[in-house]
Amino acid sequence: MNSASRKGIGMTSERTRRRLIDRLRSEGISNSRVLEAIAATPRHLFLDEALGSHAYDDTALPIGFNQTISQPYVVAIMTEAILHPGCHKVLEIGTGSGYQAAVLARLVDTVYTVERIRPLLDAAVERFQKLDIRNVYCRHRDGFEGLPEHAPYDGILVTAAPAEIPQALLAQLGEGGRLVIPVGDRYAQDLRVITRHGDEFEERRLERVRFVPMLDGLS
Ligand code: SAH
């Protein structure tokens, strides 16, 4: 590619990124820190080059192994939902491309993220290195067990859908911590936000979403 066309892509990407932010705002995303974090995260670098021209469309896209990078609108509502004044340490279940973790990394001190598919995890680690993101720690784990050795978390964000809320994740939430999780069957789920107050868990439902299923075991 010559330098002129490379520059062309750069300009397009800046304009299309801006357009994405305007769209998210019009869809009701009002937290300016979340919008800024999305604007600053180069989604095209979390996708196969062939899909680059769609990187700033507000849609989920394939990342291989039957998995998808989440739709930016869904990343935005989940990120808005998890943030609270004491939110410094977050666990993500389902690293996938690493995009959601990269957005979170701009908003909290530390992000732990677990993924069950080894090659996806390895590719995400490489992206974090390339982008010089140093506060995301990746582990090859089954997210149904959470990541007990670094618990408690101020927030746990789940980007694959279980049929029911895994108890291990509730147990790893700290006081005032929030679990943001899609719960349902493989066709549609309710996005739920569960906040811990001592031994009580308060639940709020956001909207209907569609995530890939949360699966048992490593691969
Ligand atoms: N957050 C990702 C979305 C990836 S899609 C992104 O921003 O790109 C959901 C991911 O969850 C997939 O990569 C899938 O392999 C992973 N996943 C599904 N079940 C899991 C489990 N039990 N433990 C860990 N990861 C899981």
Residue ranges and CATH numbers for the domains of the chain are: 60-209 (3.40.50.150)
What CA–CA distance (Å, rounded) separates 28 from 129?
33
For the Cβ of 41 lying below 6 angstroms from any atom of ligand 1, the answer is no
Q: Is the pLDDT of residue 128 over 70?
A: yes
Listed residue (131, 51, 76, 144) closest to 98, CA to CA? 131
| CA 69 centroid distance within chain | 8
Q: pLDDT tens digits for 24-57?
A: 999 999 999 999 999 999 999 999 999 999 999 9
For the Cβ of 111 lying below 6 angstroms from any atom of ligand 1, the answer is no
Q: Is the pLDDT of residue 99 over 90?
A: yes
> pLDDT band at residue 12, thresholds of 50, 70 and 90?
low
CB-count exposure of residue 113 (10 Å: 0-12, 13-18, 19+): buried
- The mean predicted confidence, pLDDT, of the chain is 94
Q: pLDDT tens digits for 159-215?
A: 999 999 999 999 999 999 999 999 999 999 999 999 999 999 999 999 999 999 999
What CA–CA distance (Å, rounded) separates 157 from 148?
15
pLDDT at 3: 43
Q: Is the pLDDT of residue 2 over 50?
A: no
Q: List 209's β-bridge partners, or say none.
A: 189
For the Cβ of 144 lying below 6 angstroms from any atom of ligand 1, the answer is yes
Active site residues: 70
Q: What is the pTM for the complete model shown?
A: 0.95
